[in-house]
Structure formats: structure tokens, C-alpha cells
A and B are shown apart, each in its own frame.
Chain A
Amino acid sequence: MTTTRTSRASWLLLVPALGLLAVVLLTPLIQSFFRSIGTPEFTLEHYASLFTDGVTMTVLGRTALTAVIVTVVAFLLGYPYAYLMTRVGPRLRGVLLVIVLIPFWTSVMARNYAWIVLLQRGGPVQSVFEFFGVTDVSFQGSVVGVTIAMSQVLLPFMVLPLFSSLGAIDRKLLLAARGLGSSPLVAFWKVYWPLSRGGVVSGLILVFTLSLGFYVTPALLGSPQQSLIAQLLAQRTTQLLDFAGAGALGILVLVITLALVAWANRFGGTISALGVASTSQTKDQ
């Protein structure tokens, strides 16, 4: 008797949250789905045109390519950083963790503004490259600039799952491999790398997925000729007022994203990594 009463009360506690979710997220998404298949009446032409209009697939391809580059950059920088975090003492590890979290709490617009200033023509980053003799590279209005700025903010999503997976590896195994005569590189490749693969996969999927939906950074640092999928979506909605077409494109992006997130979740990446990010103050002090 008491258990059914508490369980009914527990279900009731969920009602406000689910109501809010229904108004802000579910109803708009469901409406846009029905609009995309029901304008003017039931049709799949809005989905078909995504594949045939010549623009969407080009932009989607460019977005995927940008996401791949961002993911590779984040991996190349994130793996050594996460490894370093597992090697230093607890106090320095705390400092390194706080540094990882800084992009999270630097305001989105402040961060993008800083990158605009750093990457602009004649700006400090270009000067550094010119100093080393590289003069023909431009950062503002190019994919390179977008990649630099996007990798910076997505790097935590690579480092955090990597850190939790590298931290669980027993370093005695490496010493054992060395003791049996293997070189450091072979010990890494045969012993350490396979054990870290779970974190690697979830980090890769997570960063790739999140970079697909970036809107502000490409809009500010990229160029209209090199627009990414999020800009196309915004343009269809606010400028072309093609709500049905925008709905179809939005649903496509959403389905791709959720499928990839679900895949990453199987490796224990997504939600737990975000959980680490939001509760790290309580966990790692």
C-alpha cells in the first residue's frame, strides 16, 4: 500500500519536468516533423529534395569534413593531454582539470569574439605564422579558422572520456611489457592503446557529433560561401521561410546526431562525460 503510494507520488514529481520538455522540445520537434511530411499534404518530397537539390548534400559533406578535421585535431591534442593528466600528482591533476573546464565557462560570445580578434587578417595568429615564413594562409573567413575555434571548445569532450579511460589503465602492465623486453613504442601500441580504445571511440564520436550542429562559430568565423549545415538550416527558416524544408533538414540532422550519440553511449561516453563536466567540482576536489 505504502509502496504504491510513494511510487505514484514519485511519478507525479516527474510531471512538471516532462511538461516543460513537452512544450519546449517535444511539441516543436513533433510539429516540425509533421510539417515536413504533411505540407501541403502527405509527401516525402521535402526529404527527397534534400538529396537532389544539389546544395544540401554539398553542405552536409562540407560539414562532415569539417567535423572530421576538428575530431582529428581534438584527438591529436587531447590524447597526450589526458595521458599527462594521469601521470602527474593529484594537485597538478586538479589544475589541469580546471584548465580543461575553462572553455565550458568562458562565455560563448566572449570566446568567439576572442577568436575573431586572434584570427583576423593581420592578427596575432597570422603574425606568428608569417614569422615562420607562412604567408599565404588566411584564418578569418576560412575553414581553418573555424576548425581552430571549434576544436578549442570541443577538446574537453575528448579529454574527459579519455581521462576516465586512461586513468583506469594499470601502468604495471606497461612496466611488465618493458621488463619482458619490449620497446616503449611497442609497449604502448600492444598494451596501452588497446586498453584505451573505449575512451578513444567515445571521445571521437562525441566530438564529431557535437561539431555537426555548430552554428555561431561558423557563422562568425567562416564565410557564407563555405556555410555549414546549421547555417543552411537557419537560412531556410528565417530568410526563405521554407518551414517544411527546414523541418526535414532539422529532422535529418537530429536523427544523425542522436544515432551517433546512442552509439557513443554504448562506450559509456556521452552522458557520463557531460556528468563529469558538470559535477567535477564535487568529484575531484
Chain B
Amino acid sequence: MTATVPAARRPRRRDRGVDPIPWWLVVVGTLVALYFILPTLIVIPLSFSSASAFEFPPKDFSLRWYENFFTDPIWLGSLGNSFLVAILAALIATVVGTAAAVGLNRLTGRFAGFLRTLLMVSMVTPAIVVAVAVYISFLQWHLVGTLQGYVLAHAALGVPFVLVSVTTALGGFDPKLLRASASLGAPPFRSFLRVTMPLISRGVLTGAIFAFVTSFDEVVIALFLRAPTFQTLPVQMYNSVTFELDPTISASSSLVVVVVTVIFLVPLLIGSRKKTR
């Protein structure tokens, strides 16, 4: 380690001499970086404020909003619903999306390309357009305000993320391995479980995490599917800034930010452990 440091430094120092990074670029870059993280930065101190108004910086600190969050059945119920919906939606999206990625990986031609684009299209379709169309159709199918309705809608949103990450993982996969496994007498499904799956497991996990977080955080479609009997946490957060002005949202925001950050760190940690091994 110590031996590589000067070797890595030398070209950088020379680079700096010939063509330095201008100071104003560093200033602009720092300000933009601050702009990226500003909302995330203030959410946690805000949650420990004791004031009842939305004020920043907080004057006194207390845990009352956390206490509210963990004692109010509406907040806790929404949290439970969000977890339930996100787990089921991620499960479906992962199974369905992995199957589609494996299928598309073996197919070529214009029609397969068209289907891939079609499966990705929800990523760029405005959420509000989907939400309105889904709301009206789900009204007819009696799915508004039901667990099934939320899970179906959120699973569909998760599929593109699974598709992208599994496709990336399959990019480094050698199909000769499958032929070898078949020549040793393994039926296709066992080859998939014993050969393909372990090699693409990280892509599948990454996709599942993205599908989970997408659902857990989704608010636009959830606002249309909500019912007094069933709503998710982002919807309750939306209510709390529009009608109720309930500062419990600050505790809930910090919890969500921390939970999601931890969830995102999981594949990173698994990846780095694999690399050091």
C-alpha cells in the first residue's frame, strides 16, 4: 500500500502543473455538491426539534416526534403497509424481471429489442399519467384501496430496475457454462439454479433492492390508490404536509432516509467483501 502511493501521485502532480483545475471550478463544484445533499442533510437535525412548527435550524432538541411516530396507529399502520407492499412488490418484480432478463438475453432480433424497450418504458412514462390511467381502470376492477392494487402497480414499476441490473450481470456470463452443465446431464432448470443463479445473484439482489425502494418510496400512484382503510407511509407524509401540518413527518423522513441508505449499502458491502476475498 505504502509503495503504491507515491507512484500514483506522481502523474497527478505533473498533470496539475500543466493543466491545473481552476479554483472557480472547485468552488462551483462544491456548491453544486452541497445543493445535491442539502435536503438530506437537514432532515435528520429537523427530526430532533422540539418546536411544533416546521422550523430550521431547530432551537431545542427532543424526541417527541419519534415518540409520536411510534405511538400513533396511523403512522405505524402506514409504515407496516409500506413494508408489506414493498416486500410483495419487490418479490414479484424480481421473479418476473429476472425471468424476462434471462429470456431476453438469449433472444435476438428486432422484436426482442422492441419487447425490451416496452418493458423499460415505465421508467420514462410520467408517473402522473400512469397514476391517472391506473386509478380509473382499477376503480372498475375494484382494486383501488386494496393491497393487491398497490402490489400490482408497484411490482410493474420495479420490473425495469430488475431487468437492467440482471441484464448487466448476465453480460459477464459465459453461456458455455450452461452447455457444460447440460453435457454433464443437468436439466435446464437445475442448470439455471446451480450455474446461472449463483453467478448473477448480485445483479438479482441489486434489482430486488431497487424494486423494494421504488415501491417503498412511491407516492404519486399511491396517492390515487389510497383509501381510508389502506394507505402507505409516503401518502401519510403527504397528508401531514398538506392537510394536517403534523411535524411527525420529520421523524418519519429521517427514518426513511436512514433505512433506505442502509438498504443501498448492502450490495456495496457484499461487493467489497467479495473483492477482498
Per-residue contact bits, chain A 170-207, to B (CB 8 Å; 1 contact, 0 not): 01001100000000000000000000000000000000
Q: How far is the CB of A70 from chain B (nearest CB, A)?
A: 13
B217 touching A254, Cβ below 8 Å: no
Q: Is the CB of A278 within 8 A of B161?
A: yes
Query: Which residues of A sit under 8 angstroms from B56, Cβ to Cβ?
Result: 117-118, 123-124
Residues of chain A within 8 A (CB-CB) of B42 are 114, 117-118
Inter-chain CA distance A102–B37, complex, in Å, is 7
B107 touches A7 (CB 8 A): yes
B133 contact set on A, CB distance < 8 A: 28-29, 31-32, 247, 250
8 Å CB contact of A109 from B117, B234, B267: B234
Q: Which secondary structure dominates chain B's binding surface?
A: helix
Q: Are A233 and B123 in contact (CB under 8 A)?
A: no
Task: Say whether B32 faces chain A, with CB atoms less than 8 Å apart.
Answer: yes
> Are the CB atoms of A250 and B129 closer together than 8 Å?
yes
8 A Cβ contacts from A123-157 to B: 123-124, 152, 155
Does B159 interact with chain A (Cβ within 8 Å)? Answer: yes
Asked, given contacts A28-B136, A209-B124, whether A109 binds B92 with beta carbons under 8 Å apart, the answer is no
Interface string of A193-237 (1 = CB under 8 A from B): 000000000000000011011011001100000000010011001
Query: A285 at the A/B interface (Cβ < 8 Å)?
Result: yes
Q: Is the CB of B264 within 8 A of A105?
A: yes
User: How distant is the Cα of A49 from the Cα of B71 in the complex, in angstroms?
Assistant: 50
In the complex, A162 has a CB within 8 A of chain B: no
Q: Do B36 and A100 touch (CB < 8 A)? A: yes
Q: Which residue of B lies closest to A77 (CB)?
A: B32
A107 to chain B: closest residue by CB: B256
Given contact pairs A100-B36, A110-B257, A28 touches B100 in the complex (Cβ within 8 A)? no
Given known pairs A233-B132, A250-B132, the reply for A117 and B55 (CB within 8 Å) is yes
B271 touching A230, Cβ below 8 Å: no
Complex alpha-carbon distance, A279 and B122, angstroms: 18
Q: Is A164 an interface residue (CB 8 A)?
A: no
B residues 153-179 touching A (CB-CB < 8 Å): 153, 155-156, 159, 161, 163-165, 168-169
Asked if B96 is an interface residue, CB under 8 A from chain A, the answer is: yes
A100 to chain B, nearest CB (A): 6
A212 touches B103 (CB 8 A): no
A21-B119, A107-B217 given; A234·B268 CB < 8 A: no
Task: Give A89 to B128 CA distance when docked, in angstroms.
Answer: 41
A253: B residues at CB distance < 8 A: 126, 128-129
The interface bits of chain A over 252-285 (1 if a CB of B lies within 8 angstroms of the residue's CB, else 0) are: 0110011001000000001100110011011101
Interface of A is mostly: helix
Q: How far is the CA of A45 from the CA of B151 in the complex (A)?
A: 36
A11 lies within 8 A of chain B by Cβ = yes
A238 to B131, CA, bound (A): 11
Per-residue CB proximity of B49-74 to A under 8 Å, as 1/0? 00000111100000000000000000
B84 near A: Cβ within 8 Å? no
**Which residues on B sit within 8 Å (CB–CB) of A254?**
125-126, 129
B133 and chain A: residue at smallest CB distance: A28
Contacts of B242 in A (CB 8 A): 219-220
A270 to B117, CA, bound (A): 11
Instruction: Judge whether A110 and B152 touch: CB under 8 Å.
Output: no
CA gap between A87 and B24 in the complex, in Å: 14
Chain A residues whose CB sits within 8 angstroms of the CB of B202 once the complex forms: 282
A20 in contact with B155 given A106-B39, A278-B161 (CB within 8 Å): yes
Give Cα distance in the complex from A99 to B29, angstroms: 11
Asked if A234 contacts B156 (CB within 8 A), the reply is no
Asked whether, in the complex, the Cβ of A257 is within 8 Å of the Cβ of B220, the reply is no
**Contacts A20-B92, A80-B29, A213-B127: A279 and B168 contacting too (C-beta < 8 A)?**
yes
Question: Which B residue sits closest to A109, measured CB to CB?
Answer: B237
Asked whether A281 lies within 8 Å of B271 as measured between CB atoms, the reply is yes
Q: Which residues of B contact A238 (CB under 8 A)?
A: 135, 224
Are B106 and A10 closer than 8 Å at their CB atoms?
A: yes
Minimum distance in angstroms from B39 CB to a CB of chain A? 4
B234 engages A155 (CB within 8 Å): no
B134 within 8 A of A: yes
User: Considering the chains assembled together, what is the distance between the CA atoms of A31 and B100 in angstroms?
Assistant: 25
* Cβ-based interface call for A108 (8 A): yes
Cβ-based interface call for A55 (8 A): no
Bound form: Cα–Cα A213–B261 in Å: 26
Are A16 and B96 within 8 A (Cβ)?
A: yes
In the assembled complex, 30 residue pairs joining A and B whose CB atoms fall closer than 8 Å, in A order, are A14-B115, A16-B96, A20-B92, A20-B156, A24-B152, A25-B121, A32-B136, A81-B28, A99-B33, A106-B39, A107-B253, A108-B217, A109-B237, A109-B256, A112-B241, A113-B54, A113-B237, A113-B249, A113-B253, A114-B39, A114-B40, A114-B42, A114-B46, A114-B253, A116-B54, A117-B42, A117-B46, A174-B19, A215-B128, A250-B129
